[in-house]
Structure 1
Amino acid sequence: MTQKKTTDDKVDKIEKIQILSFVLDQERFGVEISNIQEVLEYRSVTPVPRTPTYMLGVINLRGQVVPVIDLRSYFNMQLAAPTVNSCIIIVDVKIEGEETSIGLLADSVQEVVELNVDDISPPPKIGSRIRSEFIYGMVKHDEYFIILLRVSRIFSQEDLTDIQDVTVNVNNLATDESEL
């Protein structure tokens, strides 16, 4: 938080947040840094049978099974194969009160941006290709707009249950195989 002096020498507090900006289908999105565990270079994802189409599969992150979601697919955008610039953003979400890591596939990660909360505009009523409940605002940064995503609302409860079931099933399978 920074401070600025007003004309009558009172100190007003300017609330700031940091976001990680990333690209999906040539649009810029942002997620608050506080929701992000880490950013990985794209790596091979192990497909899991009978999962929703938006779920690419799972990765092993230091012994932890992490499901990876293709945000393009989830947001009904045109699909594209991962490139050298693609990244997996590991975010923490609560599923039934428990913190769970989920990987979000992005076309590329741009930068960490510090924003004044006052500069954030409300989400647009029209014009966005994704549902407005996922968005908590938009902000102009340099010459482009960043759509700010609300990580806690991207996935429905049903989606989160599916994601958790896949993670548990893969973990159980790995445990069963290690006991052989």
Structure 2
Amino acid sequence: MVASSDFLKGRGPGQVPAFQGSDEGMGNPEGELHLRFYVPSGTEFALHAVGIKEVISLAPDRITPIPNVSPLLLGTLNLRGQVIWVADLGQFLGDTTVLNTDRNEIPVVAVQDQDIILGLAVDRIVGMHWLDLDELQIATNVPDNILPFLRGEWVLNAETGEHLRLLDQAAIIRSARWAA
């Protein structure tokens, strides 16, 4: 797992600061801990930290392509002796922008629901932030193909319409889309 205190505080090159509900020193958190990240289209999402098994960055050659599977799946990864599937989360959610795998490292968020673990490849990790679930709203202006995988959204800036959408990792893992 990532042990950098900069990662946990959401600090680092190219990372955006947390919005309301985050705590600068993480000593007095408000809300619950979430991982914020971007998919290739530039859309920002969050996942509840409770369902995250691990966050890793790995070389693309560590993902073994498997023929004749869903095009959403990049392949498999050996995670400490356990083979897990790795998927392009952006494509799963209906993005037309494909994840760039021609780079040094690909961020993968390993999510777990009961006994199933799935690696979700994303474009960029923002960091861990405390977010208040009481401020979570029903997602609006969301494509129908994403709606089943959302728990809601936080409005970051009402004037610009900027929002942060919370994904439901259990719904993603259990989706029938993987069979397609």
What TM-score does the superposition give when structure 1 sets the normalisation length?
Answer: 0.70
* 3-state SS in 1 of match to 2:90: helix
CA gap of 1:140–1:158, structure 2 versus 1, over 3 A, is: closer
Residue 129 of structure 1 deviates from its aligned partner by 7.3
Aligned counterparts of 1:80 and 1:69: Cα–Cα separation in 2: 10
Contact 1:86 1:109 in 2 (8 A): no
**Residue 51 (1) aligns with residue 69 (2):** yes
Alpha-carbon distance in 2 for matches of 1:80, 1:129: 21
Q: 2:118, 2:32 → 1: CA distance?
A: 22
Matched, 1:30 2:46: yes
Question: Pairwise mapping of residues 95-110 of structure 1 onto structure 2 (< 5 A)?
Answer: 99-110=115-126
Structure with greater strand share of residues: 1
Kindly indicate whether the alpha-carbon contact (under 8 Å) linking 1:90 and 1:103 is maintained by their aligned counterparts in 2. yes
Report the secondary structure of 1:49's partner residue.
coil
Q: Write the distance in 2 (CA, Å) between the matches of 1:35 and 1:151.
A: 7
Greater relative contact order (Cα < 8 A, sep 6+): 2
Structure with the greater alpha carbon radius of gyration: 1
- Identical pairs, percent: 22
Paired with 1:108 and 1:86, the residues of 2 have a C-alpha distance of 8
State the AA in 2 paired with 1:74: F
> TM-score, structure 2 length as denominator?
0.70
Which residues of structure 1 form unaligned runs of 5+?
1-14, 164-180
- State the shift of 1:127 in Å: 3.8
* Aligned pair partner of 2:129 in 113, 123, 131: 113
Shift of 1:101: 1.2
RMSD over aligned Cα, in angstroms? 2.6
Structure 2 residue 142 is the aligned partner of structure 1 residue 123: no
Q: 1:62 to 1:32 in 2, by over 3 A?
A: same
Gaps of 5+ in 2: 1-29
Kept in 1: contact 2:94–2:146 (CA 8 A): no
